[in-house]
Structure 1
Amino acid sequence: MTEIIRTRLLSKNYGLTEVVSNVNMKLGRGEIYGFLGPNGAGKSTLMKMLLNLVKPSGGEIELFGERLLPGSIEPLKRIGHMIETPVFYEKLTAEQNLDLHCEYMGHYDPKAIREALERVQLIGIEKKPVKQFSLGMRQRLGIARAICTKPELLILDEPINGLDPSGIQEMRQLFRSLRDEYGMTLLISSHLIAEIEQVADTIGVIDRGRLIKEVSMESIRNSKTEYVEIVTSNVKLAAYVLEDKLGAKNFKLIGDRLIRIYDTALTPEQLSKGLIINDVPVESINRRHHSLEEYFFEITRGGESHASSY
C-alpha cells in the first residue's frame, strides 16, 4: 500500500515540555486512520506539524512520498483540513466563505462548492451569514471547506464536535463515501471511540505524546477476546478463590470492584457457584467481548494483571 503520510521520530517540545515524542506513524492511501488519545495527548500538535503550521523539534515527515520541509507548499495543496475550532468570515455567507477558500487554493469551481454544501447538509441556509450559525453548523461548514477542493488527503481534528446523533451518523456516512467514491485518505482524531470504531480502517493510539499502538481494525475485530466479567465488593477474596480454589490462572483485576476471567474452561455458572460457596459477594456476572473502547483503555491505562500472557 502506498504511504500518504510517514513520520520518523517526530517530536515537538515547548520549552522543557515534550508534547510529541519520537512518533513513527504510517498512513496508507485510501484508508481512514482513526487517531485516538486523551485530551492533551498531542493529537492536534501532530496534525499541525503535518500541515507545516508547527515546526517539529526533531524527526521528519514525508507526505506523498516526499520529505516535508519548512518551505514546502506543493504537498499542502493536495490536503484538506480542519484543525480545532474552524474560523470564518462572520459577516459572509457559507457559500461566500467557500468561494474565497477555493479562490485562495486555486480551485475555483461553483459546482464543487455546491456539492460540498450538499454533502454536509447545509443546503437551504448557505445564504445566511456565518455569525448566525450554531456550533454544529460551523462544524459542518468547516468540513465542507476541507473537502470542497477534492483533496487527496483529509485531516480532521475532532470533526463531529457539536453535532447531534443524526449529524454524527451523517458524517460517518460522508467519511466512508469520500474514501470509497473518491479514494480519499482520511486522518481523523476523536475522543468518541465508538464512532471511530465504525469508520476507521486503522487505529493509532497516542498517549502523553507517544504513539503507543498502531493497529488495523480488522485485527482488533478478529482478536476480540471473550471473557467473563464479575462485579464484586471484595476483589481480593475473589482473586484468592479464583486462583486457589477454582484453578483459574488467566484473569485480571480492574479497579477495586471488577474482575475479568479469560479461562474459557470455566463457565459463568461454575464461577458463580464457586465464588458464592466461598463467601465471595457476587453482584453480577456476564460473558463479554472486548470492544475498541476496552482495547483503548487496556493499552493506555493498563491494569493489575494475573495473566502474563494477556
Structure 2
Amino acid sequence: MTEIIRTRLLSKNYGNADVLSSVNMSVQRGEIYGFLGPNGAGKSTLMKILLGLVQPTSGEIELFENRLHFDSRDHLKRIGHLIEIPAFYEKLTAIQNLELHTEYMGYYNKHAIREALEMVQLLGVENKPVKQFSLGMRQRLGIARAISTRPELLLLDEPINGLDPEGIHAMRNLFRRLRDEWGITLLISSHVLTEIEQVADKIGVINNGRLIREVSMETVRASTTDYVEITTSDTVLAAFVLEEKLKINNFRKISDHIIRIYDSGITQEALSKGLIMNDVPIESITRRHHTLEEYFFDMIKGGVEHVPSHQARA
C-alpha cells in the first residue's frame, strides 16, 4: 500500500517542553488510522503540523509521497480537517457556511455540499443559522465541512465530541462509508477507545510526545484473548490447584484476589468444579475478553506483556 502520511523523527519543542519527540508515523492510503493517547500527549499538535498551522522543531514529513515544504499550501486542497472546536459564521446558515468554505478552497460543488449535509444527517436544518445549532449539530457540521471538498485525507480530532449515542453510531458508519465508497484515508484521534476499536484498521499510541507503537487492529484482536477471571480470597491455593491438580499453566495472578486463566481448552464449569473440589474459596468466576482499552493502558503503563504468561505465585 502507498503511504499517504510519513513522518521521520518529527519533534516539536516549546522552550524546554517536548510536545513531540522523534515521531515516526506511517499512514497507508485507504485506511482508518486511530490515533490514541491521553490529553496532552501530542495528538492535536501533530495534526496541526500536518496542516501547516504549527512548525516542527525538527524532522521530516511526507504527504501524498512528496516531502512537505511549509512555505507551500498546495497540499491543503487535498485535506479535510476538524481540529478542536469548529468555528463558523454564526449568523449564516449551515449551507451558507459550507458554500463559503468550498469557494475558499476552490472546490465549489452544490451536489457535494448537499451530499455532505445528508451524510451527517443535517438535511432539513441546512437553512437555519448556525447560532441555533447545538454542540452536537456543530460537530456534525464541522465534519460536513471537512468532507464537502471531497478530500483524499481527512484529519479528525475528537470528532464525536458532543454527540449522543445515536450520533456516534451514525458517525461510525460514516467513517466506514468515507473509506469504502470515497476511498478517503482517515486519521482520527479520540479518547473514546471503544469507538476507535470498531472502525480503525490500524492504531498509533502516543504518550508524552512519543509514539509508543503502531499496530494493526487485526494484531490487537489476535492478542486480546478471552480469559476466565477468578476472584478468590486464597490466590496461593488457587494457583497451586491450577498448576498441580488441574495441569493449567497459562494463567496470571493480577492482584491478591484475582487470577486470570488464558487456557481456552477448559470450560468454565469444569474449572469451577475442579477448584471447589480442592477447597479453593471462589467468590466469582467469569469469562471476559481483553479490550482495546486494556491493550492501550498496558502500553501507556510501560508495556505489560500482551501474550499472557504464567505468574502463579507473584
The residue aligned with 1:68 is 68
Higher mean C-alpha displacement, 209-218 vs 173-182: 209-218
**Secondary structure of the equivalent of 1:299?**
helix
Q: How many residues align?
A: 310
Distance (whole Å) between structure 2 residues aligned to residue 156 and residue 298 of structure 1: 25
Aligned position for 2:40: 40
What residue is the counterpart of 1:293 in the other structure?
A: 293
Matches within 5 A, 1:125-144: 125-144=125-144
**1:167 maps to amino acid:** G
Q: In structure 1, the residue corresponding to 2:107 is in which secondary structure? A: coil
Offset of 1:88 from its aligned partner?
1.0
Aligned equivalent of 2:171: 171
Q: Distance in 1 between matches of 2:304 and 2:181?
A: 45
Residue 11 of structure 1 corresponds to: 11
Structure 2 portions without partners, runs of 5+: none
Structure-2 separation of matches of 1:302 and 1:257: 23
Question: Structure 1 residues 16-25 or 115-124, which shifts more?
Answer: 16-25
1:205-258 deviation per Cα after TM superposition (whole angstroms, max 9, x unaligned): 122222212111222334442322123355566556655776654333435543
In structure 1, the gaps of 5 or more residues are: none
- For 1:219, the equivalent position in structure 2 comes to 219
Instruction: State the distance in 1 between where 2:31 and 2:165 align.
Output: 24
Is the deviation greater in 166-175 or in 215-224?
215-224
Cα pair 1:3 1:27 within 8 Å, conserved: yes
Once the two structures are TM-superposed, the CA of residue 83 in structure 1 deviates from its matched residue by 0.6
Per the TM alignment, residue 126 of structure 1 is displaced from its structure 2 partner at its CA by 1.2
- What is residue 55 of structure 1 aligned with on the other side? 55
Contact conserved, 1:80 with 1:146, CA < 8 A, in 2? yes
- Counterpart of 1:226, as a letter, is D
Q: CA RMSD in A?
A: 2.6
Could you report, residue by residue, the CA deviation over 1:53-92 in whole angstroms, capped at 9, with x for unpaired residues?
1111221111001111221211121000001111111111
Amino acid of the structure 2 residue aligned with 1:202: K
Which piece of structure 1 moves more, 146-155 or 159-168? 159-168
Distance change >3 Å, CA 278–CA 59, structure 1 → 2: farther
Q: Does the alignment pair 1:31 with 2:28?
A: no
Question: TM-score when scaled to structure 1?
Answer: 0.89
Aligned partners of 2:202, 2:78: CA distance in 1, in Å?
A: 21
Structure 1 pair 255/6, CA: closer, same or farther in 2 (3 Å)? Answer: farther
Q: Cα offset for 1:265? A: 5.3
Q: Distance in 1 between matches of 2:101 and 2:11?
A: 31
SS of the equivalent of 1:140 reads helix
Question: Where does 1:233-272 land on structure 2 (aligned, <5 Å)?
Answer: 233=233, 235=235, 238-239=238-239, 242=242, 248-255=248-255, 257-264=257-264, 267-269=267-269, 271-272=271-272
Moved more, 233-242 or 282-291: 233-242
Equivalence for 1:181: 181
Name the counterpart of 1:200: 200
Q: In 1, distance between residues paired with 2:138 and 2:103?
A: 20
Counterpart amino acid of 1:57? Answer: T
Quick check: 1:8–1:25 contact (8 Å CA) kept in 2? yes
Moved more, 9-18 or 217-226: 217-226
- 3-state secondary structure, aligned to 2:54: coil
Q: Distance in 2 between matches of 1:309 and 1:280?
A: 22
Give the TM-score taking structure 2 as reference length. Answer: 0.88
Q: Is the 8 A contact 2:81 2:146 kept in 1?
A: yes
Aligned to 1:92: 92
TM superposition shift of 1:2: 0.6
Structure 2 counterpart of 1:230: 230
Quick check: 1:110 aligned with 2:110?
yes
CA 16–123 in structure 1, closer or farther in 2 if over 3 Å, else same: same
Distance between the aligned counterparts of 1:275 and 1:304, measured in 2? 28
Contact 2:262/2:308 (CA < 8 Å) preserved in 1?
no
Contact 1:93 1:127 in 2 (8 A): yes
Contact 2:298 2:304 in 1 (8 A): no
